[in-house]
Amino acid sequence: MTKNFAAVAAQHTELVSISDGIATVDIAPAAGGALASYRWWQDGAVVDWLRPADPAAISSRDAGAMACFPLVPYSNRIRGGRFEFAGRTIRLPTTADDPHHEHGHGWRRPWVVVRHEAGTIVLRYRHAADSWPWSYEAEQEITLADGRLCVTIKVRNLSDAPMPAGFGLHPYFPSTPWAHVQAPVSGMWETDTEVLPVRHVLPPVGADPSIGFDVSEVDFDTVFTGWARRARISWPEHGRRLDIEAEAPLDFLVLYTPPGEPFFCAEPVSNITDAFNRTGGRIDTGCIVLAPGLIRSASVRFTPSLAG
């Protein structure tokens, strides 16, 4: 098994790998510090727990086509790439394809490997103040143990002023006809045509994640609130199940289930979409304020299982 994964990695010099003898994770540091795959072998066949990146995505360093990428220094969109903070107007670069500067910086920039062992790798990204007028450092520790994957993200404010922040993970899962998601939540944000929040409501009847739903029957691009930081994804036709457990402050879950696509997303995050423009209301939006030198961190654990 080790030789097989080594051969794959050798074909893509962009990748580094960790393994615990049960699972292997390929990582693409130059592609936004993204995971390219997380897989087991079962009777000589590959079991992909995350959507694997194809060779073209790896070669082009396309984080959005990877298995999972980090979200720093915030999750999702900021309306028009603009918000007010501490008396300042922050304007982030936008384009026709990215009008709301989605998902921050981490997935756009290379990360550096600072430690690499058999079953653990640590990546770091350091951001110098620019249109985002705070310097900060982000770190991912990716670990395998007994086939389970754990990703710990840290964000540290390196500037001399308080910094608004958020973070999380953006994993992609294989979509199948019977793929099913169950995750305890209590509310959700309705969105406008630009997928920006407009109203906090109850989860939809018939597609409430707390009860569970089949991915093929819904069309979500939605932030859910009151998340219990647990989710279960199952692929009953394959006898596979994946349990996700996150730590505070990853108190929100983004579900993205585009119809007809071979993937879907269940993203543990610390803030709602456009959180920096929605502070001060009655409903917590997850905007973290990091004092100079302060670190916030959280882990997300993925625990797979096979029937029989």
In this predicted model, what pLDDT tens digit does every residue of 85-144 receive, in sequence order?
999 999 999 999 999 999 999 999 999 999 999 999 999 999 999 999 999 999 999 999
AA letter at 170: H
DSSP 72: B
User: pLDDT grade, residue 183 (50/70/90)?
Assistant: very high
Write down the residue that tokens 């720093």 correspond to: 72
Distance CA 296, CA 306 (A): 34
Cα torsion angle, 102, 105, 110, 116, sign:
negative
Return the CATH number at 91.
Answer: 2.70.98.10
Q: Which residue has the tokens 């979409």?
A: 273
Domain of residue 119 covers 2-306
| Mean model confidence pLDDT for the chain | 94
pLDDT for the residue 13:
62
- What integer is the mean pLDDT of 174-182? 98
pLDDT cut 90: percent of the chain above it: 92
For residue 145, what pLDDT is reported?
98
Q: Taking a C-beta distance cutoff of 8 angstroms, is the pair 303, 160 a contact?
A: no
Predicted confidence (pLDDT) at residue 10 exceeds the cutoff of 70:
no
Tell me 291's DSSP state.
P
Domain count, the chain: 1
Residue 134 vs residues 48, 90, 164: alpha-carbon distances, Å: 38, 11, 9
Q: Whole-angstrom distance between the N-terminal and C-terminal Cα of the chain?
A: 22
Of 9 and 71, which is predicted with more confidence? Answer: 71
